[in-house]
Amino acid sequence: MGNTPSILEATPQEHALFTARHLEKQRQILIWPPETSVPPGHVQIQFYSYRFQARDALRPDMDAVLSLEKSGALSLFAVRRLWGLETCSIIDPIELKLGFPADPNWLSADTVEELVRKHGCIKVIEPYASYETVAKRQLRHIALATLSLLRSYSIIAYAGVRALSRVLAKPCITKTHHLDWTRLGLPLVLFFLVLCKREPLTALINAITPDACLTFVLAALFLTVRNAQHALVPVGLEDEKSTVFVLSG
């Protein structure tokens, strides 16, 4: 059904996460969006990741208002492009049946009118995705996790270089300065491991998984915490038990 989404396009999971964060931000500032107003010649589209969400009348993962054609038909191709879907089917929230139109790119005007009359909007779902699309989405997820990992290491490396510059800029030091060599060492070790890797780049990418990236980041952050016993800082009160626990990473 149509072309598969590009790896450069955001996945439906990314769109759903962005929508959830946007709603949570509005909730924090006590501004809740009113009911969606649909102007003439438009229709409200609601996307659900799972059928039970539509059955239980839960909040859709994404929703949008799209314009109809002059004939009253709806372009399902525009719906797929909007949220990075490969396939798109109509779902009946009562009977949980999926509707596959004869033309996968268009929904007729009569069908649009009937669905709006019954449910007030059009509820859609991605019934399946091909192996190629799933592989693209996984590769995109790994690439985004790798970029996040590199950003974390750049912050750690910058902190290590800044600490080293402070020590080198003050040759006459009266107090003991603890230089965190872990912050400098970990990015350098990772850099040399990548340089010395003799395997192709595709094999290196396939060897990286989101779980491994998360484990590696947590291990690096654990190693960067220096001497937890030095993090106990007395606040100068008369009661010796009154202390403030500060983790200086």
Max distance between CA atoms of the chain, in angstroms, equals 84
In this prediction, the residues of the chain whose per-residue pLDDT falls under 70 are: 1-2, 27-35, 160-249
Indicate the burial class of 48 (C-beta count within 10 angstroms; 0-12, 13-18, 19 or more). buried
Give dist(CA 163, CA 248) in Å, integer.
13
Host domain of residue 65: 12-129
What does the pLDDT read at residue 173?
A: 46
What does the pLDDT read at residue 227?
A: 42
Express as a percent the part of the chain with pLDDT over 90.
13
139 contact partners, CB below 8 Å, separation of at least 6? 7, 205
In a domain, 240, yes or no: no
Amino acid identity of 93? Answer: P
Asked if 112 and 138 sit in the same domain, the reply is no
**Whole-structure pTM over 0.95, yes or no?**
no
Asked if 22 and 79 sit in the same domain, the reply is yes
Give dist(CA 88, CA 20) in Å, integer.
21
In a domain, 249, yes or no: no
What does the pLDDT read at residue 169?
A: 60
Two structure tokens written together for 50: 């799972």
Asked if 58 and 85 sit in the same domain, the reply is yes
Nearest CA to 123 among 107, 102, 137, 110?
107
Asked if 29 and 42 sit in the same domain, the reply is yes
Two structure tokens written together for 140: 């995109």
Asked if 122 and 136 sit in the same domain, the reply is no
Domains held by the chain: number: 2
